[in-house]
Amino acid sequence: MSVPWTIFLLGILAVLAAIFFAWRVLRIPATQGAASPEEGERLAEISGAISEGAMAFLLREYQYMAVFMAVFGVVVGLLVDWESALSFIVGASISILAGFIGMRIATLANVRTTAAARTSIGRAFRIAFNSGAVMGFALVGMAVLGLIVLYYALGAIMGPSTPEHIMEALAGYGLGGSSIALIARVGGGIFTKAADVGADLVGKLEENIPEDDPRNPAVIADNVGDNVGDIAGMGADLFGSIAESTCAALVIGAVASFRYDMAALLYPILITAVGIPIALVSTLFAWANHERTIEPALKRTLIVSTVLMGGVMAFVTLRVLPETFRIGTATYSNLGVYYCLLTGLVAGMLIGLVTEYYTSYRWSPVREVARASETGAATNIIYGIALGHQSALLPIIFIAATVYIGYTFAGMYGIAIAALGMLGTIAIALTMDAFGPVADNAGGIAQMAGMGPTVRRRTDALDSAGNTTAAIGKGFAIGSAALTALALFSAFLVRSGVDTLDLLNPIVLASLFIGGLTPFIFAAITMKAVGKAALDMIKEVRHQFATIPGLRDTNVLTAESLKVLREGGSLTSVQANRLRSVVDKAFSSGEELLAAVRSALGRTLNPPSDEALLKVVNLGLVMGKPDYRRCVDISTKASLREMLLPGAQVILTPIVVGYLFGAEAVAGVLIGSMISGVVLATSSANSGGAWDNAKKYIEAGNLGGKGSDTHTAAVIGDTVGDPLKDTTGPSLNILIKLMAIISLVFAPFFAHSLRLLG
C-alpha cells in the first residue's frame, strides 16, 4: 500500500480507536457504583457543575480564539500568502477540536471514575485510562489526517508547484496548532492557578475549611482548572509539537534529493502514523487491580510503546527512505536518519525519568527540600530554586547530545526527525497526561460528596500515579519543545536561504542577548498575571463569604426552615422532635442533609407533602449556596485578560524583530530564547513539582507532619511553585516553539525587512 494511503488509514484507525475508548467510558452510567441514589444524585450535581464550568470557560475562550484566528489568518494571508492562511485555520481548528474532545470526555469520566472507585480500583483505573486514551488517539489521528488531507488539498489549490512551496504553505498548519496552544496553555494556566491559589488562601487560611470543601465558592473553579490547564493545555501543547516538528521536517525534506519520491517526502508524517497502531497495542498492557500496581501499569505501557516504536521504525525507515540522499551539498543515509529517530525516542524517555527523579519524594532531592523546611520557608525556597536549576543539567545534556547526533547523521533534517522520534510515543504520553487530571478530579468529587475513606484512598492512589506520570510527561513536553523549536529554526534558515549564521555578525550577537532575555520577561509577566488573577478570585471568595447568609453553614438545617415546615401544619410532634435533632447539625453536602430530613420524617405514618419537604430543603440550601458560577466566571475573565500581554509578547517579538532588522536578527533571537528558555522551563517546572511533593512528603507524616511549623514552611514553597510549574514553565514551551514557527511562516515577509541595522 502506498505511504499516503497508509498514513490516511492509520489516521482513521486512531479516530476509530478514540471512538471505541469513548464508548467504553460512556456506556457505563454516570454514577454506576454509587452506594445510594442520594450519593448518585450528589455526584451528578458536582460533576455537572464542573462540566458546566469547563464548558463556560471553553465557550468564552473560543470567542477569543475565533477573533484571533480571523485577525491573524488575515495577517498571514496579507503578509505571507493565502495558502499558509488556510493551513493556519485548519491547524488551529483541529487543535481546538482535539482540546474540546479531551475536555469533554474528561469531565464525563471523572464522576464515573469516582463512582467506580466505590466498588473496584481496577475499574476506576480503566475508566480514567480510557478517557485519557480518547484524547490521545483523537488528537494524534486528527493531526495526521489533517496533515495528509491538507497536503493534497494544497497541491490541488496551488496547481503545478514544487514540493518546497507546498510544504512551506503547509507550515501554517503548525502555526495554527501552536497559536491555539499559546492561548490554551497560558490562559488555562492562569485560570487554574488563580482558582487554586484563590481557593486555598481564603478557604484554608481565612475560613479554615478543608481542601475541596463544597462550601468554598472557588472549589468548582479549581476543579475546572485541572481540566482547562492540564488537559486542554497539554493537549494543545503536544498537538503543536507534532504539527510543528512534522512541518519542520517536511520543509527541510522538500529540498532533499528525494523530494519527488512521495513515500520519502511524507516520511515525517508516517512516523507519527506508525505510532498509532503501536500505541493501540500498548494499551493492552494497561491493567491494574491494586493501588500499588497502577503506576507500574502506566509506565509499562510507555515502555512497551517505546520499544515497539524503536523496532518497527528501523524497518519502516530503511524501507521508505532511499539508502543515501543529499540535502544541499551533504550526503546522508537512511540508517543515519533512523539513528536520529532512535536518539530522540531514547532522549525523551531519559528526560522524563530525570524529571521524575527530581520531583518525586521517593528520591533524595525532594527530601532535601523537605528537610530545608525545618529551618523555615526561606531555606525551603532557596533549596527549591537550587533544585530546579540543578535538575536542568541532564536534560540539557541529553538535548545537546541529541542535537549533535541528529545533526551529524542527517543535518538539520536529523534534528527534526529526532524531535519526531521523541514524539513517537505521543498517543500513550497524552493518554497518561490526561489520566492525571481525571484522577485528580475524581478525588475532588469524592471529597466534595463526602464518600468516605476507602473511596478516597483509591482515588488518591490513582492521583498519585497520575502525578508521577504527569512529571514524566512534563519533562517530555519540554524536551520535545526544545527539539521542535530547533527543527523549526533549521527550516526557517532553509526557507530564508541563510546558509551560515555567523556569531561574529554584530546583529546576530546583539540579538542573541535579546533572545536570551525573552523567556525571563515572559516568565515575569506570567507569574504576575497569576498573582493578579488570584487577587480577583480572593476578592470574590471573600465577598461571597461576607454577603451570602449562612454560607459557612451551607448544609445545616436552620431553625427557620423548621418553622416554615411547622407553619405548613404538616408535622406531627414526633416528626418535629426528630427534626429538631437535625437542626444545626452540619452535613458534608446538601444531599446528605436532604437524606437526614427524609429519614427523620419518613418513618412516621403521616409523611409531609413533597412540596413542604422541598421547601424546607430549598430554604436550607438556598440560604447558603455559594455561587460557583461567578467564581468560574471571574477566573475565566481574569485569565483571558491577563493572557493578552504575554501572548502579544510571543507573537510580536519575531515579527517586529524580523521586520525591523531582518532574518539574521530573528535567528539570533530564536537561538537566544531557546538557550535560556529550555533551562528556565525545566527549572520552573521542577522547582514547582519538588515543592509540591516536599509538602506531600511532610503531609505523609514525615518531619513533624501536617500542622507542624515545617509543614507551614513547605506550604509557602508549594504556593510559590504553583504558577511556576503550571503556568510559567509549561507556557515557556510554547514560547520557544511559537516564536520559531512564526519565523518560519513569516520568513518571506522578512525579505521585505527594513534591515535597520543591517
Task: Choose one: 5-13, 105-113, 269-277, 522-530; the region binding its own copies (CB under 8 A).
Answer: 522-530
CA distance 226 to 42: 20
Q: Which residues from 671-690 bind its own copies, rule CB under 8 A?
A: 671-672, 674-676, 678-679, 683
CA neighbours closer than 13 Å in the CB half-sphere of residue 498? 24
Complex with its own copies: residue 317 or 391, whichever CB lies closer: 391
How far separated are the first and last CA of the chain, in Å rounded? Answer: 51
User: Least distance from C-beta 722 to its own copies, angstroms?
Assistant: 8
Candidates 132, 233, 516, 608: give the one binding its own copies (CB under 8 A).
Answer: 516
Told to check if 513 binds its own copies by CB under 8 A, we report yes
CB atoms within 10 A of CB 2: 10
Q: Which residues from 64-103 bind its own copies, rule CB under 8 A?
A: none
Task: Choose one: 62-70, 466-474, 605-613, 715-723; the region binding its own copies (CB under 8 A).
Answer: 715-723
User: Least distance from C-beta 536 to its own copies, angstroms?
Assistant: 13
Told to check if 397 binds its own copies by CB under 8 A, we report yes
Candidates 387, 462, 690, 698: give the one binding its own copies (CB under 8 A).
Answer: 387
Cβ distance 193 to 187 under 8 Å? no
User: Least distance from C-beta 672 to its own copies, angstroms?
Assistant: 5
Told to check if 757 binds its own copies by CB under 8 A, we report yes
Backbone angles phi, psi at 625, to 5 degrees: -75, 125
Candidates 58, 90, 92, 385: give the one binding its own copies (CB under 8 A).
Answer: 385
Task: Choose one: 157-165, 471-479, 577-585, 714-722; the region binding its own copies (CB under 8 A).
Answer: 714-722
CA distance 721 to 735: 20
Cell of 519: 523567556
Cβ distance 237 to 648 under 8 Å? no
Complex with its own copies: residue 150 or 667, whichever CB lies closer: 667
User: Least distance from C-beta 664 to its own copies, angstroms?
Assistant: 10
DSSP, res 583:
B
Q: Which residues from 532-571 bind its own copies, rule CB under 8 A?
A: 535, 538
CA distance 227 to 362: 27
Complex with its own copies: residue 521 or 574, whichever CB lies closer: 521
User: Least distance from C-beta 739 to its own copies, angstroms?
Assistant: 15
Query: What is the DSSP secondary-structure string of 625-692?
Result: ---HHHHHHHHHHHHHHHHHHHHHHHHHHHHHHHHHH-HHHHHHHHHHHHHHHHHHHHHHHHHHHHHH
Residue with cell 524583530: 657
Helix (H) / strand (E) containing 701: none
Q: Which residues contact 527 (CB under 8 A, 6 or more apart)?
A: 723, 724, 727, 728
Residue with cell 458536582: 46
Complex with its own copies: residue 578 or 695, whichever CB lies closer: 695
Q: What is the gyration radius of the CA atoms in the chain, in angstroms? A: 27
Q: Which residues from 199-258 bind its own copies, rule CB under 8 A?
A: 201, 205
CA distance 740 to 1: 35
Q: Which residues from 469-488 bind its own copies, rule CB under 8 A?
A: 486
Cβ distance 88 to 28 under 8 Å? no
Told to check if 515 binds its own copies by CB under 8 A, we report yes
User: Least distance from C-beta 367 to its own copies, angstroms?
Assistant: 14
User: Least distance from C-beta 408 to its own copies, angstroms?
Assistant: 6
Complex with its own copies: residue 236 or 538, whichever CB lies closer: 538
Q: Which residues from 638-667 bind its own copies, rule CB under 8 A?
A: 667
CA distance 361 to 597: 45
User: Least distance from C-beta 380 to its own copies, angstroms?
Assistant: 9
CB atoms within 10 A of CB 206: 12
3-state secondary structure 148-172: HHHHHHHHHHHCCCCHHHHHHHHHH
Comparing CA positions, the residue from 325, 265, 314, 334 lying closest to residue 424 is 314
Check the CA dihedral 13-14-16-21 and report its sign. Answer: positive
Told to check if 739 binds its own copies by CB under 8 A, we report no
- For residue 140, the one-letter residue type is V
Complex with its own copies: residue 144 or 482, whichever CB lies closer: 482
Phi-psi category of residue 324: left, alpha or beta, with phi > 0 → left and psi -120 to 50 → alpha: beta
User: Least distance from C-beta 140 to its own copies, angstroms?
Assistant: 28
Candidates 528, 543, 630, 641: give the one binding its own copies (CB under 8 A).
Answer: 528
Comparing CA positions, the residue from 62, 86, 67, 482 lying closest to residue 232 is 62
User: Least distance from C-beta 737 to its own copies, angstroms?
Assistant: 16
Complex with its own copies: residue 84 or 686, whichever CB lies closer: 686
Task: Choose one: 74-82, 122-130, 402-410, 742-750; the region binding its own copies (CB under 8 A).
Answer: 402-410
User: Least distance from C-beta 382 to its own copies, angstroms?
Assistant: 5
Task: Choose one: 38-46, 311-319, 511-519, 623-631; the region binding its own copies (CB under 8 A).
Answer: 511-519
Q: Which residues from 145-164 bind its own copies, rule CB under 8 A?
A: none
Complex with its own copies: residue 462 or 534, whichever CB lies closer: 534
CA distance 208 to 203: 6
Site string for its own copies, 486-505 (x = CB under 8 A): x------x-----xxxxxx-
Candidates 511, 653, 733, 743: give the one binding its own copies (CB under 8 A).
Answer: 511
Task: Choose one: 446-454, 525-533, 579-587, 606-614; the region binding its own copies (CB under 8 A).
Answer: 525-533
Candidates 19, 26, 335, 514: give the one binding its own copies (CB under 8 A).
Answer: 514
CA distance 11 to 276: 8
DSSP, res 217:
T
Complex with its own copies: residue 381 or 621, whichever CB lies closer: 381
User: Least distance from C-beta 503 to its own copies, angstroms?
Assistant: 4
Cell of 591: 444531599
Q: Which residues from 354-383 bind its own copies, rule CB under 8 A?
A: 372, 375-379, 381-383
Cβ distance 746 to 495 under 8 Å? no
Task: Choose one: 178-186, 247-255, 445-453, 713-721; the region binding its own copies (CB under 8 A).
Answer: 713-721
- Residue 581 vs residues 93, 649, 752: alpha-carbon distances, Å: 57, 61, 81
CA distance 32 to 718: 36
